[in-house]
């Protein structure tokens, strides 16, 4: 089973996770820019974070045989913080870089006016850079947030096929489907979607425009939920080709629209360095 996890925050994961992901079949991923779990206090904090997404983290993934891409944005939560919003002026510098395959995560957290402003401006940037957009949907009042999201996408003149609306569930999937946008599903251990609920949605509406991710981050989450979903699909009678479509070809098709997928990872080179630093610790015998 080859797996492309289209939404996972590897900066907060361990080398054990990388090894387990590779063993499970993960060969490519997209790491969206997000918040830290605590507020950033200045724009400089984004600069180091974005640099690590396009640099160190990609190097780290490559050492485990996994192709790493990222998306860059001011996330919805921090769009409410005046210490953070000036980062919007820095985004173009990063959106031009290799391996940056979308603008994201953008969208709504608490549905404030500031969030809407930042969201619209970043949709404009996506159009300007001819990049897809990855849109986060709020955990509360999800359906209203999803509807408002689709309105803003339309108002921005963004082609729906260039947008993935993420963290969907049974309640929000149909409005996104009708709008013609891509549908992202985050499979968590306890909350949101689980593999069986995901399979039921695939049985009901088919496999096109669906992305399945683990959305693993610094919270309670599991980078192998993508694999668990592939197995649940097989157990429910889907074919290996169906699984390959959902877990590999769909994300390749969606993010391929950026023209920047880098799916070939050179063989891992023990002791390789990035800016002088390697993943190895201690003396090698």
* Closer residue to Zn ion, CB minimum distance, 217 or 243: 217
Task: Specify the 3-state DSSP secondary structure of 74.
Answer: coil
Instruction: Write down the least CB distance from residue 186 to Zn ion, Å.
Output: 8
Instruction: Write down the least CB distance from residue 134 to Zn ion, Å.
Output: 9
Residue 141, CA distances (Å) to 91, 111, 148, 278 in order: 29, 9, 11, 44
* Closer residue to Zn ion, CB minimum distance, 63 or 221: 221
20 CB-side CA count, 13 A: 13
68 CB-side CA count, 13 A: 24
Nearby residues of 43 by Cβ (< 8 Å), 6 or more positions away: 83, 84, 86, 87, 90
* Closer residue to Zn ion, CB minimum distance, 37 or 271: 37
Contacts with Zn ion by CB under 5 A lie at 34, 215
β-strand pairing of 3-5 with 26-32: parallel
Instruction: Write down the least CB distance from residue 235 to Zn ion, Å.
Output: 27
* Closer residue to Zn ion, CB minimum distance, 11 or 243: 11
Instruction: Write down the least CB distance from residue 47 to Zn ion, Å.
Output: 20
What is the rounded distance in angstroms from the CA atom of residue 29 to the CA atom of residue 232? 21
Whether 131 contacts 258, CB under 8 Å? yes
Size of the chain, expressed as the number of residues it contains: 285
* Closer residue to Zn ion, CB minimum distance, 136 or 227: 136
* Closer residue to Zn ion, CB minimum distance, 18 or 238: 18
Instruction: Write down the least CB distance from residue 129 to Zn ion, Å.
Output: 21
Task: Specify the 3-state DSSP secondary structure of 200.
Answer: helix
Instruction: Write down the least CB distance from residue 257 to Zn ion, Å.
Output: 20
What is the rounded distance in angstroms from the CA atom of residue 59 to the CA atom of residue 271? 12
């Amino acid at each position: 089973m080859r797996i492309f996890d289209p939404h996972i925050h590897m900066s907060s994961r361990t080398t054990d996770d990388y090894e387990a992901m590779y063993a499970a079949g993960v060969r490519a991923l997209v790491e969206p820019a997000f918040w830290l779990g605590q507020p950033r206090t200045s724009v400089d904090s984004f600069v180091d974070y974005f640099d690590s997404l396009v640099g160190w983290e990609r190097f780290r993934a490559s050492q485990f045989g996994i192709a790493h891409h990222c998306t860059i944005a001011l996330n919805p939560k921090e769009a409410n913080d005046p210490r953070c919003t000036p980062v919007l002026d820095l985004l173009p510098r990063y959106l031009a870089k290799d391996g940056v395959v979308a603008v994201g995560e953008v969208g709504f957290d608490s549905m404030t006016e500031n969030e809407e402003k930042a969201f619209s401006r970043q949709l404009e940037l996506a159009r300007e850079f001819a990049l897809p957009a990855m849109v986060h949907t709020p955990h509360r009042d999800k359906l209203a947030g999803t509807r408002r999201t689709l309105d803003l996408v339309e108002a921005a003149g963004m082609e729906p096929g260039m947008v993935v609306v993420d963290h969907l569930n049974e309640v929000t999937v149909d409005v996104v489907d009708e709008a013609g946008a891509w549908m992202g599903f985050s499979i968590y251990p306890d909350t949101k979607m689980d593999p069986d609920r995901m399979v039921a949605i695939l049985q009901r509406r088919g496999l096109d425009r669906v992305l399945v991710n683990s959305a693993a981050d610094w919270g309670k989450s599991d980078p192998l939920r993508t694999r668990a979903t592939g197995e649940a699909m097989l157990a429910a009678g889907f074919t290996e080709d169906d699984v390959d479509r959902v877990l590999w070809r769909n994300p390749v098709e969606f993010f391929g629209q950026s023209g920047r997928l880098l799916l070939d990872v050179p063989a891992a080179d023990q002791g390789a360095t990035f800016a002088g630093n390697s993943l190895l610790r201690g003396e090698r015998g």
